[in-house]
Structure 1
Amino acid sequence: MLNTCPLSLLCGLLLALQPLVAAAAPAPYGEGFVRLGAQWGEGGLEWLERPGDSNIPGDGQAFEQQLESLEQAGGPYADSLAEPLASLGRHYRQAGDYQQAAALYRRAMHVIRVNDGLGSDRQVPLLRELLLSYRQAGNLEALDERYDYFFHLFGNGRPPFTQARIRAAQEYMRWQREALRHELGAGRQRLLKLIELNADMLEHMQQQANVPYRWLRDVSYSQVLNHYLLLQRFEPTIAEQQLLTSREYMGTQQVVQSLEEQKLDARLRTAPAQVAAIFRQLSRAAAGQGAVETAAVHLGLADWYFWNGNRQRAAASYREVVAILNEAGEQALLQQWLGEPVELPDNGVFWRAETFAAGPAATIEARYDVSARGRVSGLEARHTGGDEDHNLHDFRRQLSATLFRPRWASGEAEAVEGLTRRYRLLD
């Protein structure tokens, strides 16, 4: 006898699955191009060394001689070796010999651990320079491994929280997102672990009395960025495997999901509401920080709603931003934030910043209109510099798929015509 399924039961099943089949996300602004001059903290550019950061003798001979004398006097693990080893490593790094520099930094750290113990804070500046060496060399796999040690030195995101621990956790979580953008390792597993780590930190912070607002804000925004990546990079596994027929539903072919797949689907299903809840909780904490901070949180929530297609709630949140800033007399800031269309997401979460040596990039000038719904039309584009081998068709396609925050300064979404902007293409 054939298995049968009542129509009402089948409809109920499809309705239950419906939240898992989300509409396609907008284009990931920052992945293929950015507006010329755009920067976000998410890019990790603070790790780049600036000219004049240090002044190391050109030949390194003085450090070699100092090392030899100290080693003869105190042996290969003399505590006094750490600083000249680090200085010589800095010399080689600035000369572009990243392999030799990394070896010297690692040896200096080993000397410190022998003398001070495995958890010595004296390792931290050296570890930072070691990370910089790997980054400048483009050795992302080694960089990824060392970030785990960096995070371990600062408590792995566990309480008690201090300024140093919070900053280290922020940088570690930022790197995890950068590693995802570079497609290092198992992306799904990495992102799920990152979201769980970030959630645990938020939970512990809520349980700790007198947590500074800035810590809560920064860790909250980190979790928001994690969810932007989640929704853009992954689709529910159940949507690919389990749009069941009535025969399958009756038990003849049950699809078995791994625990990781179940976690992913649960995260995808609840992401829009979870992030909205994070923003609402943060807005309560921001109430004591002044109108500008409160408005900034509402703007983040509005952009999140808008990105996820919830236009009604997005509009309410944008109007809240306008009202708060007008009441506070912050008309200049209102124009800065909502006076013209802005590419979304305006947080750098998809930005593949060039944080090691790269050649000249192509630049493109684009002219277009943006509707009140944040969509591009009438796009014209031309090369204005750099490598012109890049396909203008690809750029037009990507920009046309980019969602814009519309102009909202009047309290209503408005179309804007004839925008002219320059963009930098990313390889």
Structure 2
Amino acid sequence: MKRSCDSLQRFGSRVLLGCCLLGGSASSAAEDVPAAATEHATVDAVQDVSVEAAPGTTPGVAREAAIDAPAQPPVEAAAPMPAEAAAPATVDAAQEVPLDATGQNSNDAAPQAPLEAAAQTPAQATQETPTAAAPETVIDAAQDVAGEDAQPDTAAEPANPIEQRYLDAVSTVESAGGAYDPALSQYLLGLGIAYQNDGKHAEAAEVLNRAAHVTRVNEGLYSTADLPILELLIESYAALGEWEEVGNRYHQMFQIHHRNYGNNDPRLLPMLDKLSAWHMRAYLQDLGEQPLNHLITARNLNDSSTTIMRANYPANDPRIADSLRQRALADYYLASYRPPDIPETGFDTADDAAFTRQPSYLINSFSDGRDALSSAVEIRRQDPDSTTLQRSQAVAELGDWHQLFNRTQTALDTYREAYAEGMQGGDDPASVIDQVFGKPQALPLLPQDYTLPVNPATRPQAYILLSFAVNEKGQADDFQVLESVPAAADKSVTKLQRQLRATRFRPRFADGEPAATSGLTYRYFYQP
């Protein structure tokens, strides 16, 4: 097995009911080897419903990918020119810090993150100012990021009235108070928002970086006043496809949170979640030269979240169960990871032997993920406020884990246990069973914040529409091409069928037993 050169093979289908479910496709029958380390294809299979794939992706694998981003500030924040219109950055009173010409603290070192991350992250490699992500930045997994190809030529365009009012205000304040007048930050922030609303992300990044610099000069290097500026910077850099800058800004946001809140404060949790999600997306989309580092860092950040929760919340708090499920997702990808330079030969090689000597976080990822999901099941059962659906879903996810590692009989037995759990309690049993076992579920299921719908405007028009079935063991078969536009080469159809066959499914259940399901369709878009 090898880590595919096509990063899209690392993606899974949409999450069921917002749950992060783990999985992959089938490979060899080796024990504890994930089912789709080589061809990690997944399908959002819905009976009698066509499912569309991202252009050029493998089936269900990374149909959609997006950079997690804060909601875009409303247009009104950038409209009127007075100071109150410019969405002022919130300011925490922090001591002033001497800065060098670049805005970096010349004496103070970056804070040490309270993590055990074994991987170097972009922010650890460069001490630049961070940036902010774009909620509306949809990344077509098979193409360049929209906006990378068509940047507006603002040199030839006059500023629109809103932008001009902000430009005039910046000039006025700067003339009266100098280049570091504290009032400049809010006007630069407003100008950056105006540029973003006009699609001018390069210009927005330039003025937002200046706003962050002015804020640091006046409020200190780790002032929380920088946070809204950094979020906007992430948005613009994501739109520009500058992923290293995105990572740097996420890490600077974390450093600010850590410096202000310490190691075990629950207020760190939202930032840890954002940063962990960013590293998972960076791994899945193959952003950067060291994908394994992203994966390890994401898992370590998740472990830090779990540690903080256990120190501050009751032992049966459902948030701990959710964190453990996220941890198991990282464990699955660690278990299925293969270095890119190890080819698939069918024979053991010296490189294969060397890979087996990897650290314990790779070797033990199967048992670590299984234990995390087992703990999540116990937390759900001990939580008096948990629902029948939550308990049944937790057990089913443990079954999915075994399914992904080719432990079919153990998986089916665990699914039967989940079915029985769904039939108990005060909730509507039929509704619970329908949500958990009503149709085949392709594995893995990713959290909703890992994916966004593909933009139809940028999607290739070539596609293959395939019908198939999923048998009672959760394996795809009975393939038939329903439509191909244009006519696809035989090798393309064969490859698609092979990838679907490699995908593992949670099978549909009927009357407490797994059942075959026919009439499923999958629409795969690609670039001819």
Aligned partners of 2:195 and 2:201 also within 8 Å: yes
Equivalent-residue separation in structure 2 for 1:101 and 1:143 (angstroms): 14
Residues 100-109 or 280-289, more deviating: 280-289
User: 1:54 aligned to 2:148?
Assistant: no
The question of whether the paired residues in 2 share the 8 Å contact of 1:30 and 1:352 is answered with: no
- Deviation of 1:423 (Å): 4.6
How far is the alpha carbon of 1:31 from its aligned partner?
Answer: 9.8
Aligned match of 1:297 in 388, 394, 402? 394
Residue 36 (1) aligns with residue 52 (2): yes
Residue 369 of structure 1 corresponds to which residue in structure 2?
469
Q: Partner residue of 1:347?
A: 446
Question: How many Å separate the matches in 2 of 1:141 and 1:118?
Answer: 21
CA distance in 1, matches of 2:396, 2:170: 55
Is residue 365–residue 421 contact of structure 1 (8 Å, CA) maintained in 2?
yes
Within the candidate set 19, 22, 25, 2:36 is matched to 25
Give the Cα–Cα distance (whole angstroms) in 2 for the partners of residues 350 and 30 of structure 1.
18
C-alpha separation in 2, matches of 1:349 and 1:400: 25
Task: Give the whole-Å Cα distance in 2 for the aligned partners of 1:198 and 1:399.
Answer: 31
Residue 505 of structure 2 is aligned to residue 401 of structure 1: no
* Alpha carbons of structure 1 residues 420 and 194: separation in structure 2 relative to 1, 3 Å: closer
Aligned pair in 2 of structure 1 residues 180, 272: CA closer, same or farther (>3 Å)? same
Q: Which amino acid aligns with 1:309?
A: N
| Count of matched residue positions in the alignment of Structure 1 and Structure 2 | 391
Distance 1:325 1:352, change over 3 A: closer
Aligned-partner residue type, residue 107 of structure 1 = R
**Maintained 8 Å contact 2:75/2:197:** no
Deviation of the 1:35 alpha carbon = 3.5
1:425 Cα deviation after fit: 5.2
In 2, distance between residues paired with 1:319 and 1:213? 26
**1: CA distance, partners of 2:188 / 2:319:** 35
- Alpha-carbon contact 1:305-1:311 (below 8 Å) kept: yes
Number of the residue aligned with 1:78: 181
- Superposition pairs for residues 66-145 of structure 1, below 5 Å? 66-145=169-248
Which whole-Å CA distance do the structure 1 matches of 2:71 and 2:449 have between them?
23
User: Against the structure 1 CA distance between its residues 355 and 373, is the aligned structure 2 distance closer, same or farther, given a 3 Å change threshold?
Assistant: closer
Please identify, of 202-211 and 407-416, the stretch whose mean Cα deviation from structure 2 is larger.
202-211
Question: Unpaired runs of 5+ in structure 1?
Answer: 1-17, 245-254
Q: Percent identity?
A: 22
CA contact (8 A) 1:101 1:133 kept: yes
The letter of the residue matching 2:75 is: S
Aligned pair partner of 1:225 in 291, 309, 329: 329
Structure 2 Cα separation of the partners of residues 124 and 386 of structure 1: 49
The answer for the alignment partner of 1:330 in structure 2 is 429
SS of the counterpart of 2:36? coil
By relative contact order (CA 8 Å, sep 6+), the higher-ranking structure is 2
Contact 2:34 2:335 in 1 (8 A): no
Q: Which moved more, 1:26-35 or 1:335-344?
A: 26-35
Aligned twin of 2:296: 192
Q: Normalization by structure 2: what TM-score?
A: 0.64
Per the alignment, in what secondary structure is the counterpart of residue 468 of structure 2? strand
Gap change, CA 1:32 and 1:292, over 3 Å in 2: closer
Hey, what's the Cα distance between the residues in 1 that align with 2:184 and 2:362?
51
Q: Which of 161, 166, 171 is 2:269 aligned to?
A: 166
Map Cα deviations across residues 69-96 of structure 1 (whole Å, 9 max, x no partner). 1112222112211111011112222323
The amino acid of 2:36's aligned partner reads A
* Structure 2 Cα separation of the partners of residues 311 and 20 of structure 1: 11
Alignment-derived partner of residue 281 in structure 2: 178
Aligned to 2:372: 278
Residue 66 of structure 2 contacts residue 450 of structure 2 at CA under 8 Å; is this kept in 1?
Answer: no
Contact 1:39-1:348 within 8 A present in 2 as well: no
Kindly indicate whether the alpha-carbon contact (under 8 Å) linking 2:443 and 2:505 is maintained by their aligned counterparts in 1.
Answer: yes
Change in 2 beyond 3 A, CA 1:225/1:356: farther
- Structure 2 unaligned runs (5+)? 1-28, 54-59, 80-159, 343-347
Per the alignment, do residues 125 and 234 of structure 1 end up closer, same or farther by CA in structure 2, a change over 3 Å counting? same
Summarize deviations over 1:345-386 as a string: whole Å, max 9, x none: 122699776789971244543211111111111212355779
RMSD: 3.9
CA shift, 1:111, in A, is 1.6
Distance across 2 between alignment mates of 1:357 and 1:369: 27
Residues 170 and 92 from structure 1, CA distance in 2 versus in 1: closer, same or farther, beyond 3 angstroms? same
User: Aligned letter for 1:35?
Assistant: V
- Post-superposition Cα deviations, 1:149-184, rounded to whole Å, max 9, x if no partner, equal 12222229973232x421211111111111112321
CA-CA distance at 1:195 after TM superposition: 2.7
Q: Aligned AA for 1:304? A: W
Aligned position for 2:458: 359
Q: Distance in 2 between matches of 1:212 and 1:84?
A: 47
Paired AA for residue 172 in structure 2? S
**In the TM superposition, what whole-angstrom CA distance separates every residue of 1:176-225 from its partner, at most 9, and x where no partner exists?**
11111232121233323333343344344334453783432332222112
Determine the structure 2 residue equivalent to 1:252. Answer: none
Separation in structure 2 between the aligned mates of residue 356 and residue 118 of structure 1, nearest angstrom = 38
Does structure 1 retain, via aligned residues, the 8 Å contact 2:42–2:442? Answer: no
Q: Decide which structure has greater helix share.
A: 1
Residue 9 of structure 1 corresponds to none
Aligned to 1:210: 314
Amino acid at match of 2:289: G
- Change in CA separation of 1:351 and 1:160 when aligned onto 2, cut-off 3 Å: closer
| Cα distance in structure 2, aligned partners of 1:21 and 1:292 | 28
Distance 1:242 1:227, change over 3 A: same
Equivalences for residues 383-394 of structure 1 within 5 A? 383=483, 391-394=492-495
Q: Cα distance, 1:61 vs. partner? A: 0.6
